[in-house]
């Protein structure tokens, strides 16, 4: 008999969170602990412990488990790749967790979890194709089609953050080195870190992204100029997605998604870059906010 319970794990660079939900979207338990940075085996044990704690709250064992990670699983080797939590890279994490928990475990990128969460019972509910982007310290995205994640055969569907920002001169791209080894990636422009870099380049001042958006809201001319350029960059980045995927809706998460100017101004800016000169794609904030990652991880277990 199918259990009504689902367990999700959101493995972050500094914090790891577990959630217990039922199949009607109700949350019953949540706990967050520190991630054992740099220690792969200890990371597995933390996940194991959190799953057992959630199961004790449910009064059942062997529950479906989904895990969102800051990386992806290679379809060729089965190992973690592209993770900015570098101690995960090269590890057979899916297999190791399945062995440790004595059941199948679904593991995917945390941006895929955002997409699945918002497509299931969030801003993207009742939309067939959902593109969900994280605009945080980094920049990534996931795609949901008909309520299911689209991972792609290489496990990189939605890895929009590591394409070069569209319609930018090469000299601008060259001045934005990315951790992936290339230059001019969307992440170097569209993340909160990218906004801070833009401000420093324009005004010679290092400020956190949140401070820049707040100062812009209060009429600071320098911050407003920086944010205006950021919005142009974001319009270019999202227009490139629309020109390829043309999703039914674009959902934004991460710290930069809280900038209200995005939702006020992008509808006018996107047609400047979308092929054909018109665009009515809704750009909305994630309903579940910071909870979308762990909720999406739980919904992964439904797929298993």
pLDDT in tens, 62-115: 999 999 998 899 989 999 998 878 899 999 999 999 999 999 999 999 999 999
Contact criterion met (CB below 8 Å) for 128 and 145: yes
Tell me: pLDDT of 200 over 70. yes
- Shared domain for 142 and 247, answered yes or no, is yes
- Shared domain for 99 and 137, answered yes or no, is no
| Count of the separate structural domains present in the chain | 2
- Shared domain for 128 and 275, answered yes or no, is yes
pLDDT at 25: 92
pLDDT at 241: 98
Q: What's the rounded Cα separation, in Å, for the pair 231 and 291?
A: 25
Q: What's the rounded Cα separation, in Å, for the pair 131 and 142?
A: 6
- Shared domain for 78 and 218, answered yes or no, is no
Residue partners of 134: CB distance under 8 A and separation at least 6: 110, 111, 114, 140, 141, 253, 254
Question: What's phi and psi for 10, nearest 5 deg?
Answer: -110, 105
Tokens of 196: 């801070």
pLDDT at 303: 63
- Shared domain for 127 and 106, answered yes or no, is no
Classify residue 260 by burial, with Cβ atoms within 10 Å: 0-12, 13-18, 19+.
exposed
pLDDT at 304: 57
Contact criterion met (CB below 8 Å) for 270 and 304: no
Residue 117 lies in a domain: no
pLDDT tens column, 288-303: 988 899 999 999 988 6
- Tell me which residue range forms the domain holding 20: 5-110+290-303
Question: What's phi and psi for 205, nearest 5 deg?
Answer: -125, 130
- Shared domain for 40 and 23, answered yes or no, is yes
Strand partners, 72: 81
Tell me: pLDDT of 186 over 70. yes
- Shared domain for 95 and 74, answered yes or no, is yes
């Amino acid at each position: 008999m199918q259990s009504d319970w689902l367990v999700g794990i959101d493995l972050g660079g500094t914090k790891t969170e577990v959630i217990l939900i039922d199949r009607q979207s109700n949350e019953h338990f949540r706990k967050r602990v520190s991630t054992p940075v740099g220690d792969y085996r200890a990371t597995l044990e933390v996940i194991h412990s959190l799953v057992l704690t959630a199961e004790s709250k449910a009064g059942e064992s062997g529950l479906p488990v989904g895990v969102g990670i800051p990386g992806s699983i290679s379809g060729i080797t089965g190992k973690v790749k592209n993770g900015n939590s570098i101690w995960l890279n090269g590890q057979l994490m899916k297999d190791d967790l399945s062995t440790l928990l004595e059941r199948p475990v679904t593991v995917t990128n945390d941006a895929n979890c955002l997409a699945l969460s918002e497509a299931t019972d969030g801003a993207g509910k009742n939309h067939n194709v959902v593109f969900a982007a994280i605009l945080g310290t980094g920049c990534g995205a996931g795609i949901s089609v008909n309520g299911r994640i689209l991972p792609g055969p290489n496990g990189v569907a939605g890895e929009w953050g590591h394409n070069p920002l569209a319609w930018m001169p090469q000299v601008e791209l060259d001045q934005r080195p990315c951790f992936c080894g290339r230059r001019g990636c969307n992440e170097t422009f569209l993340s909160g870190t990218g906004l801070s870099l833009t401000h420093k380049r324009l005004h010679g001042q290092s400020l956190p992204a949140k401070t820049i958006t707040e100062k812009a809201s209060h009429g600071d001319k320098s911050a407003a100029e920086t944010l205006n350029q950021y919005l142009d960059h974001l319009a270019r980045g999202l227009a490139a997605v629309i020109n390829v995927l043309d999703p039914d809706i674009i959902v934004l998460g991460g710290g930069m998604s809280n900038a209200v100017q995005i939702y006020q101004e992008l509808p006018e800016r996107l047609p400047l870059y979308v092929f054909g000169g018109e665009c009515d794609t809704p750009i909305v904030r994630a309903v579940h906010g910071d909870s979308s990652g762990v909720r999406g991880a739980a919904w992964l277990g439904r797929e298993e």
